A and B are shown apart, each in its own frame.
Chain A
């Protein structure tokens, strides 16, 4: 697995990391809960046939600036700026969890800015009868097992690399990512995205890990029911909430097929 090229772009005066790898038609990816402290196999699969571009959301690993964002409008404008500056205007977009919510918002509010989208168990909705798991009210050693079918996948993603970074900064970056997500979605995960979903006009793939223990699978049907765009639901066996970590090949294959 070779490393991507790393650049930074400026959003509200804060640097946000952008990874690029591969060649071909562009596809962007916005990461899920916790962000990406390191490159993952799923992105390599995408990069085999496409130029994959991975901007880091404010406050997530490689990016700061989340504390300037006080309202959901602030967040949406910041993410829009991030995508434009990353060269993703008009490209296909995929997003997982936290990132999936923003991909849906971009497609709803700026329909001409995206070609096709893939949403992996996006945040943004809340059903009182079938609520998402409160990921911010967990014992620390339970979190990995909630986010991935195979907890070790998340543990490996978040493990501090030996020798890299200072010993105190790595854990702080991981907490910051959780804080940034909380800043958007606290306390319920409900950004009223449901009201804007009918504005999405581009083809939309809804991917859900069969073992998602955070975002109820009923939300896939709920989202599909209000979309006015062509949409399909794809359930990924052997995957949890962050399906791209559990089943990188299957998820990449589905995303590439949808955006072919």
Chain B
């Protein structure tokens, strides 16, 4: 199994009364809460943490894109990935990813990803999310009614830009370019592996299968809430006659590891409650622009609500917390149902905590039950300090990762980057700040 280290880059100093005094962490979060000089330190801490994860031997480090967002300070994950490519050598760089419909022209994504792939010597994983409603429709003003059509067309343009050898004209419905001919071209041929972070729509699963892309379910609500989605994904793969290679899938999970469960609860409660209490305080006004969810997805949601209502009593008897779940049909209903206190957060499976042995057991269960070969781990969340993040990262790398890495060894990961041979890659000089160099 691949163990990947994911950073959201949350602003770590939202006030204690953030939920009471501010309507939303996203879209219209107030600029007075942002201190650029504090953010200078946060960005540098976060990049230190990502570099540290690479040093600790994680298979990949992951970044993602958000806009006008107090828990995601990466409007451009490409900037971070580029900087990381100069401070890491063997770790893959997973940009999860660029929301294709937001780029005009979308060839910008083909160009920037090709740059990262060249600079890093072919270590890029290219993520193509549609993007959340908050990012795409509200912060970036994209029309929810045409967002998916634009996304799919932009995807076609990027893939053609990567693979077509001659200059070509692109005559799309939304994009017209007379001369498409990107320089640079990606190291990985015909193109870097493409991974698709998505919600639970059948259309996305089918499309991933058709295109042979990795499907990633990046939920903040852990494995209990995610199990229905991943079951849906694998059922659909079965129907389409695809094998159950666990590397077809990626899944995000928060983890806090310590010497014991009680110590883990003590260490990680504050950061987890900061994340679920403040970072996921999203105004539901921004969650459901009309047309963002396809009618097929709406229909499935309504039908499942009807079914859920019928089964509610039975489910509540079996497992009250899982039944409450966090599986609302829209982001708005999910945000309203979020558990905010550590006991619930852990009981619902949002965050897995424990000793290394306990974490191994739980993650083996996650990987096996969801059949996921790419486990993306959030080992920094909320206002977790650099010191605690490094502790969590190191303990996981030393005591948890070696056991989990052996899982799924019978399967080939056909969706992993294929970097240039080490001997053919540029040597990265050790970084030495000018002030230090001058003193020597």
Contacts and interface: CB of A to CB of B under 8 A. Distances in A.
B229 interface: no
Given A70-B174, A172-B295, A137 B286 contact: yes
B306 A187 contact: no
Interface string A157-187: 0000000000110011001101111110011
Interface stretch (B136-144, B155-163, B269-277, B385-393): B136-144
B291 interface: yes
A186 B302 contact: no
B144 A186 contact: yes
Interface of B: 137-138, 141, 143-146, 149, 173-174, 284-286, 288-291, 295, 298-299, 302-303, 306
A213 interface: no
28 contacts: A67-B145, A67-B146, A67-B149, A70-B173, A70-B174, A136-B289, A136-B290, A137-B285, A137-B286, A139-B284, A168-B302, A168-B303, A168-B306, A172-B295, A172-B299, A172-B302, A175-B290, A175-B298, A178-B290, A179-B145, A181-B290, A182-B144, A182-B291, A183-B291, A186-B137, A186-B141, A186-B144, A186-B145
Given A70-B174, A136-B289, A138-B285, A182 B302 contact: no
Interface in A137-154: 137-140
B302 A183 contact: no
A139 B286 CA distance: 9
A171 B145 CA distance: 17
Nearest to B296: A172
A60 interface: no
A66 interface: yes
B143 A187 contact: yes
A139 B302 contact: no
Nearest to A168: B302
A179 B291 contact: yes
B220 to A, nearest CB: 22
A178 B138 CA distance: 16
A164 to B, nearest CB: 16
Interface of A: 66-67, 70, 136-140, 167-168, 171-172, 175-176, 178-183, 186-187
A161 B149 CA distance: 33
Interface of A is mostly: helix
A186 B303 contact: no
Contacts of B137: 186-187
B143 A183 contact: yes
Residue of B137, B145, B284, B303 ringed by the most chain A CB atoms within 10 A = B145
B43 to A, nearest CB: 30
Contacts of B141: 186-187
A139 B285 contact: yes
Shortest beta-carbon contacts, A-B, top 10: A179-B291, A183-B145, A179-B290, A178-B290, A168-B302, A186-B143, A187-B141, A137-B285, A179-B145, A175-B290
A183 B144 CA distance: 8
A75 B298 CA distance: 25
A172 B145 CA distance: 14
Contacts of A66: 145
Contacts of A172: 295, 298-299, 302
A140 B333 CA distance: 11
Residue of B284, B285, B291, B299 ringed by the most chain A CB atoms within 10 A = B291
Contacts of A179: 144-145, 290-291
Contacts of A176: 290, 295
B400 to A, nearest CB: 42
B284 to A, nearest CB: 6
B302 A171 contact: yes
Contacts of A137: 138, 285-286, 289
A41 B313 CA distance: 43
B424 to A, nearest CB: 46
A154 to B, nearest CB: 16
Nearest to A183: B145
A136 B289 CA distance: 6
B302 to A, nearest CB: 4
A178 B295 CA distance: 13
A67 B143 CA distance: 12
Contacts of B145: 66-67, 179-180, 182-183, 186
Given A67-B149, A136-B289, 9 more contacts: A67-B146, A137-B138, A137-B285, A138-B285, A172-B298, A175-B298, A179-B145, A180-B145, A187-B137
A181 B299 CA distance: 20
Contacts of B146: 67, 70, 183
Contacts of A178: 290
